[in-house]
Chain A
Amino acid sequence: MKVLVPVKRVIDYHVKVRVKADNTGVELANVKMAMNPFDEIAVEEALRLKEAGGADEVVAVSIGPSQNQETIRTALAMGADRGIHIESPHEIEPLAVAKLLKEVVAREEPGLVFVGKQAIDDDCNQTGQMLAALLGWAQGTFVSGIEIKGDSAAVIREVDGGLEHLEIRMPAVVTVDLRLNEPRYASLPNIMKAKKKPLDSISAADLGVDITPRLNITRVEEPPAREAGIKVSDVAELVDKLKNEAKVI
């Protein structure tokens, strides 16, 4: 079985993002970029499945400008076998991403797609569900445990009240959550090896998908800042402030 893992290039999660002065977006120039952390978990899970004999090939795919090839190389350095870069000029929306991935699925015929539950830039939390819908496949979302059982998979989902166990039919789209695994670091020899692994590049237009944005982001602004608070000297003062000043207890 082949496993497809879409990986998104986002601002590194350690970086404090800044809104552009003209309120058109956030500053991306000279900002450290990295693989979306949830997608790292997806890559890791695909690799573990392969190492356990449950998959024979792990293919990483990323959509965006040429710099996205770095993100694919990161996945290859972790251990993915092959990369596909879909060249697109601008940031594209989850619906367009899902449509492009659907075309990749038609070409590659994976048995499973592992994808991060959300990207930490637009925080949309849509792509996996949309891809499953367009393919007519089962979806396991917010997954923190998975066991493949032939033509189905037992998944554990992180839900609002705790955990939920589902049996989903394969092929399926699985969106991964934090507790699924701890992604490995790429070793230096593997980073070197990754440079020689195959990486195909195709354009979004070649896949026949209209990626025109549907939503118009008219303004991006800083959230309202919280006013600076005070330090209290001890617990007694804290309780007094909460009772008599803030009046919340």
Chain B
Amino acid sequence: MSILILADHDDGQLAPATLNTVTAATQIGDDIHILVAGDASGEVAKSAAAIAGVSKVLTADDTTLAHGIAENVAPLILSMASDYSHLMAPATITGKNIMPRVAALLDVMQISDIIKVESPESFQRPIYAGNAIATVTSNEPVKVVTVRSTAFEPAAEGGSAVIEAAAASADAGLSSYVKSELSSSERPELTSAPIVISGGRGMQDGSNFAMLEKVADKLGAAVGASRAAVDAGFVPNDYQVGQTGKVVAPDLYVAVGISGAIQHLAGMKDSKVIVAINKDEEAPIFQVADFGLVADLFDAVPELETKLD
């Protein structure tokens, strides 16, 4: 089994989800290569080569590969596909954008968002917002697989893979990058943070998220939100935790003013410990919470902050 993993990165840093994908790959086979496609992504390649269990890092460096333009990255993966039994990527926006394009060009069905490796041909994946788990078997000649990072531990460092240059393919001329508007935060990244504190519609206003941020800063936590809070414009889209937002599984998840729609639960119910603070005693979030506090969040959250000193 030779496995190629598409690294997720921003040309400066390797996205942590890539490490979890390596762990999933080690459960399939032991000849694991990582493709770093990008522009001046040498540092990313070095980080990838240092992951334990990785034997080779292939780098394709070209301006046309910057920002993970799917129409340009997919043909590159396609040109390498014949050497591999599995093509994998984290189920991040980058992986979700590029891998189905690769699968279609190979005429194979992709297996999205796996949470367990049963065998090299068989995987578990959530369906219906995680309300059911399907075991899926593929007889395709090459398996195209995306990996839910929260379901696998991150791979350790300590590897020393060889780094080889791969030829970049030409610009497809279909899409071009214009600009990004990225949220900047000193807090940990949402999907890999050990503690997440999220706010919902009950926060009433974006400015009230400052209360959550104060608690987050004391706990070293990331701040998330429910879809309702994002739709209401309280916080940007990249805060959204849920079926179609980010999936998180921290050691501690604190849901504040979140009712607990199944679409939100899909994004956080695998957290180790769940705390819910909501003034509505009947809120469904309490059904998944290990510790529920029925209280007005505008009293409870500031009190929580002071009690953390």
Check if A217 sits within 8 Å of B252, measured CB to CB: no
User: Is the pair B71, A215 in contact by a Cβ cutoff of 8 Å?
Assistant: no
Residues of A within 8 A of B137 (CB): 215-218
A154-B178, A162-B182, A249-B252 are contacts. A98–B104 as well, Cβ < 8 Å? yes
Any B CB within 8 A of the CB of A229: yes
Binary contact track A153-181/B, C-beta < 8 Å → 1, others 0: 01001111111111111001000011100
Interface presence of B112 (CB below 8 A): yes
The verdict on A201 contacting chain B, using a C-beta distance below 8 Å, is: no
- The reply to whether A141 and B97 contact each other, CB–CB distance below 8 Å, is yes
A238 at interface, CB cutoff 8 A: yes
Q: Which of A42-50, A62-70, A186-194, A219-227 contacts the other chain?
A: A219-227
- Whether the Cβ atoms of A248 and B237 lie closer than 8 Å is no
The smallest beta-carbon distance between B95 and chain A, in angstroms, is 10
A167 with B183: in contact, given A95-B109, A178-B231, A230-B292 (CB under 8 Å)? no
Q: Is B160 part of the contact surface with A, judged by Cβ < 8 Å?
A: no
B212 proximal to A (CB < 8 A): no
Contact residues of B: prevailing secondary structure: mixed
With a cutoff of 8 Å between Cβ atoms, the chain B residues found around residue A160 in the complex are 15, 92-94, 191, 238, 246
Q: How far is the CA of A17 from the CA of B131 in the complex (A)?
A: 7
A132 to B100, CA, bound (A): 10
The answer, yes or no, to whether A148 is at the interface (CB within 8 Å) is no
Interface size on A, as a range, is: 35 or more
Interface flags, A232-249, vs B, CB<8A=1, else 0: 101110110110001011
A126 touches B100 (CB 8 A): yes
Give A185 to B97 CA distance when docked, in angstroms. 30
Count contacts between A and B, CB distance < 8 Å.
Answer: 262
Quick check: is A114 within 8 A (CB to CB) of the other chain?
no
A221 touches which one: B109, B132, B139, B180 (CB < 8 A)?
Answer: B132
B243 partner residues in chain A, CB cutoff 8 A: 120, 123
Whether a CB of chain B sits under 8 angstroms from the CB of A121 is yes
A217 contacts B135, CB within 8 Å? yes
Chain B residues near A169: list those with CB within 8 A.
173-175
Residue-wise, chain B 198-224 has the 8 Å CB interface mask toward A (1 for contact) of 000000000000000000000100000
Q: Are B135 and A226 in contact (CB under 8 A)?
A: no
Given contacts A161-B182, A248-B251, A249-B308, contact A144 B237 (CB under 8 A): yes
Are B108 and A95 neighbours in the complex by a CB distance under 8 Å? yes
Asked if A139 and B300 make an inter-chain contact with CB atoms under 8 angstroms apart, the answer reads no
Q: Which residues of A contact B110 (CB under 8 A)?
A: 94-95, 124, 126
Q: How far is the CB of A218 from chain B (nearest CB, A)?
A: 5
Q: Do A238 and B133 form a contact, CB below 8 Å, given A142-B93, A159-B93?
A: no
Say which residue of B92, B128, B136 sits within 8 Å of A218 (CB atoms).
B136
Q: A129-B101, A178-B244, A214-B140 are in contact. Are A162 and B274 (CB under 8 A)?
A: no
Cβ of A107 within 8 Å of any chain B Cβ, yes or no, is no
Q: A229-B290, A229-B291 are in contact. Are A164 and B237 (CB under 8 A)?
A: no
A196: Cβ under 8 A from any B Cβ = no
Q: Are B100 and A235 in contact (CB under 8 A)?
A: no
B135 touches A248 (CB 8 A): no
Whether B262 pairs with A16 at a CB distance below 8 angstroms is: yes
Q: Cβ of B74 and Cβ of A133 under 8 Å apart?
A: yes
Interface residues of B in 172-196 (CB under 8 A from A): 173-183, 191, 195
Find out whether the CB atom of B238 lies under 8 angstroms from the CB atom of A161. yes
Q: Say yes or no: A167 contacts B176, CB within 8 Å.
A: yes
Contacting pair B237 A158 (CB below 8 A): yes
What residues of chain B lie closer than 8 Å to A230, measured between beta carbons? 290-292
Give complex CA distance A222, B128 in Å: 11
In the complex, which residues of chain A have a beta carbon less than 8 angstroms from the beta carbon of B132? 17, 19, 26, 220-223
Interface presence of B117 (CB below 8 A):
no
A71: which B residues are within 8 A, CB to CB? Answer: none
A121-B308 in contact (CB<8A)? no
Kindly list chain B residues whose C-beta atoms are within 8 Å of the C-beta of A120.
128-129, 243-244
Closest to B190 in A: A160
CB pair A158 B100 closer than 8 Å:
no
Least Cβ distance of A141 to chain B in Å?
5
Asked if A138 is an interface residue, CB under 8 A from chain B, the answer is yes
Q: Determine the distance from Cα of A178 to Cα of B231 in the docked complex, in whole angstroms.
A: 8
Q: Do the beta carbons of A162 and B238 come within 8 Å of each other? A: yes
Query: Which residues on the A side are within 8 Å of B113 (C-beta)?
Result: 123, 125
> Could you tell me the distance between the alpha carbons of A222 and B191 in the complex, rounded to whole angstroms?
24
Other A-B pairs beyond A95-B103, A242-B291, 16, CB < 8 Å: A11-B128, A120-B129, A123-B112, A123-B128, A133-B101, A144-B237, A160-B191, A167-B175, A168-B174, A218-B135, A223-B131, A229-B292, A231-B291, A235-B307, A238-B304, A246-B291
Instruction: Name B residues whose Cβ lies closer than 8 Å to a Cβ of A.
Output: 10, 15, 67, 69-71, 74, 92-94, 96-105, 107-113, 122, 125-140, 173-183, 191, 195, 219, 227, 230-231, 236-238, 243-244, 246, 251-252, 262-263, 269, 272-275, 286-295, 300, 303-304, 307-308
Q: 9 nearest interchain CB pairs?
A: A129-B100, A130-B104, A138-B174, A133-B104, A229-B290, A126-B100, A214-B109, A165-B178, A162-B182
A-B contact pairs, 5 of them (CB 8 A): A26-B131, A142-B93, A168-B175, A246-B252, A246-B273
